[in-house]
Structure 1
Amino acid sequence: MITAVPVMRELGRKVRNWGRWGADDERGTTNLITPGRVAAAAGLVRTGEVFDLGIPLDGDGPQPGGYRINPIRLMSETGHEQVLPGGFKWADDYVFMPLQAGSQYDSLAHVHYDEQLYNGHPASGLNVKGADKCGIHTQAKGIAGRGVLLDVARFRGVEWLDLGSVIGPDELDMVAAAQGVEVGPGDILLIRTGWRAKFLADQDAAGFMAGEPGLGLGCASWLRERDVAVVGSDNFGVEVMPGENAGAMFELHMVLIRDMGMTLAEMLDLEQLATACAADGAYDFFYTGAPLKFTRGVGSPINPLAIR
């Protein structure tokens, strides 16, 4: 019997991008977002509508506690006790949060296996000071270009997909065909499962994080064949959870991040964007979402925007 782990490793070898952009590369598939592609994507702004795809960074987020919590914001100054010339008052605040508490990017240092990061960089460079290779700061120019929404939930005619529901490459093709949109090189691909809508409906953080519908392992080859630059979703991990293979976890993460060098965007709010796309049948747009420049960070909060 073929076990899950060898299958994942073999797939990783087939789709691997190591050396494609040089032996020292730390950015991976965002190299596919060329200046020409960014300029072309700007032409997708038709009405000037701006859609905020980030979830609020507050205590009502989907993190149930444990290894990740929702953001905690503390006021350090309110101005009420200040006595300054001319009546000037000022306020200031601090925030304490995991860098991946809300809408966020996984850096290429976020996951690894067999002691190697993307492009063969040694995983030993991950230590208490962060990642010496592939940190989120390597994406500091931001991620901007042609965004494409594939609304799988709407295609299936449901508000949200069931926990554990697998989205395969054939279904991605069917959704794209039904929407009249093509996915191509340098695209930022967003997958709507409805998982954010479910959280808004039931406000169950533990349920949101207990598992999810999402992409199956077979989608790695589909993404590689189309040279997608970034893939994101409205769930917490892009891929289906529990995974398809017993005895393994986050296999798609390992293949996409470690082997392909693909940045993942997670916990997006795609609801208003999906409604607008369905109304006029236009499922591509200009996407922009810069990470915060946390040196050696393995992830970053984002406030991504879709502009149509």
Structure 2
Amino acid sequence: MIPPGAAGRDVASPTLPSHVEEVRARVSNWGRWGDDDQRGCANLLDAAAARRGSVSVRTGERFSLALDLGPDGPQVGQPAHRTNPTLEMLIVNQRDRHAPGVWVSSDDAVHMSTCAGTHIDTLAHVAYDGLLWNGFPASSISTETGATVCGAETLSPIVTRGIVVDLPRLRGVAGLDEIDPGYAVGGADLDEALDAAGLTPEPGDVLLVRTGDIRHLHAGDRTRYALGDGYRFPGPSLGSVEWIHGHDIAGVFTDTYAYEAFPPPSPDWSDTLCVHMLHIRDMGLLQGQSWDLEALSAACAEAGRSDVLLVAAPEPIVGATSAPVAPVAVL
């Protein structure tokens, strides 16, 4: 996610910029759930959170928040190793000659990046200063075994109240990029959205942050969606991190490719991915990208509500640092 103009800048320094360090010191959850904890804020997804989510069900209308997994997905080669799913047919209308009956079957296989489409990042996804979430060493990830701690198999199924934060609709625009392609969502924005919805966040809630950016993907402009407008993306900013921590939010999921606002706060980009770093490595927050919130947000606006039951079970791929997921919101 580094634009050409950033080439040549010093990206090797291990020192966290001071303004990010100040926030880290206030939001770190290390040790909160024990020194060996690999779940982070998923510990907030308790029975009370599930019951609160169930209370949000009124009509029973269901919305899939997942993108289709196929060759027209959002991957365009940045980063270069991320690929859209490719399907390989292993057998087509064949039958097992050792089995009785007249049936035939087809089998297939898929190759894809674990974060190719709608996904959740694990707590092994981002590190700095040689450490992952809760102080686990970044060296616990290897090319042979993947993540030996905090892999996708440690992610919890999500059953809780989801709060739809629809800032474009609140602003009267189709997408936040109509205001500013790099719109930085801060704590004041979240307060405004929650006040407008008449909701008070509670521990274990998750935020479904709609920026409207995914409409570019739906319109067929994959490059605009994946690379932004000159590498500018709307999304949660450093100014939202303490709000999320202070309200004990369990997860934040967005409809963007980059997840967080770009460009980062510092002109020299020394704080690139600061929201990723603080959310995942320091807070243990569940986060994910490319969640399709368009149909859900329209239904919520029509119904005059922002609370839903969210059910999402990430694929428990052992050692993976991200996990595909097909979330469902129920009104």
Q: Who is 1:247 aligned against?
A: 269
User: Please, which moves more after superposition, 234-243 or 261-270?
Assistant: 234-243
Q: Who is 2:6 aligned against?
A: none
Q: Who is 2:102 aligned against?
A: 87
Deviations 1:107-148 (A, max 9, x none): 000001001111111111011111111112111x41111111
Q: Who is 1:174 aligned against?
A: 192
Shift, 1:10, TM fit: 2.1
Residue type matched to 2:294 in 1? E
Q: TM-score, normalised by structure 2?
A: 0.88
User: Please, which moves more after superposition, 72-81 or 28-37?
Assistant: 72-81
1:293 aligns with 2:307: no
Q: Who is 1:119 aligned against?
A: 134
The 5 Å alignment of 1:28-107 reads 28-65=40-77, 66-79=80-93, 85-107=100-122
Aligned equivalents of 1:19 and 1:82: distance in 2? Answer: 53
Q: Who is 2:165 aligned against?
A: 150
The 5 Å alignment of 1:259-270 reads 259-270=282-293
Q: Who is 1:305 aligned against?
A: 328
The 5 Å alignment of 1:198-277 reads 198-201=216-219, 203-211=220-228, 212-245=233-266, 246-248=268-270, 249-277=272-300
Q: Who is 2:123 aligned against?
A: 108
Residue type matched to 1:153 in 2? P
Deviations 1:266-306 (A, max 9, x none): 10100111011101112111101111111121110000000
Give % identity.
Answer: 38
Aligned equivalents of 2:118 and 2:146: distance in 1? Answer: 20
Shift, 1:82, TM fit: 7.5
Aligned pair count?
A: 304
Partners of 2:263 and 2:269 within 8 A in 1: no
Partners of 1:4 and 1:247 within 8 A in 2: no
Q: Who is 1:281 aligned against?
A: 304
Shift, 1:85, TM fit: 4.8
Q: TM-score, normalised by structure 1?
A: 0.95
Shift, 1:179, TM fit: 2.2
User: Please, which moves more after superposition, 45-54 or 154-163?
Assistant: 154-163
Aligned equivalents of 1:178 and 1:238: distance in 2? Answer: 23
CA-based RMSD = 1.6
Deviations 1:137-182 (A, max 9, x none): 111x411111110101111111112121111111111122122222
Structure 2: 5+ residue stretches without partners? 1-14
Residue type matched to 1:165 in 2? Y
Residue type matched to 2:269 in 1? G
Q: Who is 2:150 aligned against?
A: 134
Residue type matched to 2:224 in 1? G
Residue type matched to 1:240 in 2? A
Q: Who is 2:19 aligned against?
A: 7
User: Please, which moves more after superposition, 178-187 or 114-123?
Assistant: 178-187
Partners of 2:250 and 2:285 within 8 A in 1: yes
Aligned equivalents of 2:303 and 2:93: distance in 1? Answer: 48
Question: Secondary structure at 1:218's aligned position in 2?
Answer: helix
Question: Secondary structure at 1:247's aligned position in 2?
Answer: coil
Residue type matched to 2:234 in 1? P
Partners of 1:183 and 1:226 within 8 A in 2: yes
User: Please, which moves more after superposition, 65-74 or 144-153?
Assistant: 65-74
Shift, 1:198, TM fit: 2.3
Aligned equivalents of 1:173 and 1:81: distance in 2? Answer: 59
